[in-house]
Amino acid sequence: MQRVAQAMGDHAVRARSEAIAFVVMAVALIIAPMFAYPVFLMKALCFALFACAFNLLIGYVGLLSFGHALFFGWASYVGAHAAKVWGFPPELAILSGTATGAGLGAIVGALAIRRQGIYFAMITLALAQMMYFFAIQAPFTHGEDGIQAVPRGKLFGFIDLANQTNMYVTVLIIFLGCFLLIYRIINSPFGEVLKAIRENEPRAVSLGYRTERYKLVAFVLSATFAGVAGATKALVFQLASLTDVDWPMSGEVILMTLVGGLGTLFGPVVGAFFMVTLENYLTTIGQWVFVVQGVIFVVCVLLFRRGIIGELAQILRVKL
């Protein structure tokens, strides 16, 4: 009884620290446009959502996908194509990108979960590379040029997204909504099963869970959120290009999550802002960006595996 009571107490404390952190984050993001360029913030928010989607898989199911650029990039292509060629309004353009992410996630997930661990990473990477070659060959992606001058359009027919403030508020609402949804998924009974699979898959199987189905659903969810991020980014930058589907993008989202803290709620957000800020300062040094990213990878893996938020949570003795 006492142990149960204590567990409940822990849970309440954790929920409180998470709620406080969420309010701090939301307030910071609402007042942020007074201090930073909206386009920069929107870029960081899109990547933050992308990293949260990726973290849902690595942090809570223990599956390392090395091909998440596939969902991000193809969602941004389809979103951009829908808005530009089919003349879809922005909400439908983002939805079609999201559906692309979900559909591709179902196919790739069904193949990749047939193998575990390290093979899972290699399969997702290989399938992402295959879709990268399709993106080069498919005529609608316009190869090296990408889909340019994508119209932002009017949200629900009356909110003009060409206005930077309107666009920022829209991106912020999408981000916070998806963040809360991911939080809900992680803390649902379904999320508890995912964590059980992460900790000990054979035991979860022996308890009667069909772990493959859980893993597939988690994979599709992660790909779907990556799709939201990709389609939103296409509208923000009015561009969908090969950079978004290529493997360095998959590497980048891993790095953001790693820097922020694998398996932490707020880590991917902090990691994404950290990396986007860093790259903003590093644009002048050209190819050295890759070297800097590589060094951060090595340092994080060797010395700093908990990431920024993981270390912070350790110091404050709370769950974040």
Residues near another protein, by CB under 8 A: 58, 64, 66, 111-112, 114-119, 121-123, 125-127, 129-130, 133-134, 137, 247, 251, 254, 258, 286-291, 293-298, 300-302, 305
Tell me whether residue 134 is exposed, middle or buried, using C-beta atoms within 10 angstroms of its C-beta: 0 to 12, 13 to 18, 19 or more.
exposed
Count other Cβ atoms within 10 Å, centred on residue 317. Answer: 8
């090595």: which residue's tokens? 298
Judged by DSSP in three states, 231 sits in: helix
Which residues lie closer than 8 Å to 237 by C-beta, 6 or more apart? 39, 43
> If DSSP codes are grouped into helix, strand and coil, which group holds residue 103?
helix
DSSP annotation of 145? G
Phi, psi for residue 184 in degrees, rounded to 5: -65, -40
Q: What share of the chain is helix, strand, coil (3-state, %, to 5)?
A: 80, 0, 20
CB 304 to another protein: min, Å: 12
Q: Which is nearer to another protein, 7 or 298 (CB)?
A: 298
Please, what is the minimum distance in Å from the beta carbon of residue 64 to another protein?
5
Please state the φ and ψ torsions of residue 264, each to the nearest 5 degrees.
-105, 155
Give min distance, CB of 106 to another protein, in A: 14
| Nearest approach, Cβ of residue 237 and another protein (Å) | 24
Nearest distance, CB of residue 128 and another protein, angstroms: 9
Q: Which is nearer to another protein, 67 or 79 (CB)?
A: 67
The nearer residue to another protein, 86 or 290, going by C-beta atoms, is 290
Q: Least CB distance from residue 93 to another protein, whole Å?
A: 28
**Are 153 and 141 within 8 A, CB to CB?**
no
Structure tokens at 137: 């060959």
Q: Of 62 and 90, which CB lies nearer to another protein in the complex structure?
A: 62
What backbone torsions phi and psi does residue 319 show, to the nearest 5 degrees? -95, 130
Q: Please report how close the Cβ of residue 67 comes to another protein at its closest, in angstroms.
A: 10
CA 253 – CA 244 distance, rounded (Å): 11
Q: Is 120 buried (19+), middle (13-18) or exposed (0-12) by CB count in 10 A?
A: buried
Note whether 62 and 198 are within 8 A (CB). yes
Is the distance from CB of 123 to CB of 222 less than 8 angstroms? no
Q: Which is nearer to another protein, 59 or 90 (CB)?
A: 59
Q: Which is nearer to another protein, 179 or 219 (CB)?
A: 219
Least Å distance, CB 120 to another protein, is 9
Which of residues 58 and 220 has its CB atom nearest to another protein in the complex? 58
Please identify, using beta-carbon distances, which residue of 82 and 220 lies nearer to another protein. 220
Give Cα 214 distance to the centre of its chain: 19
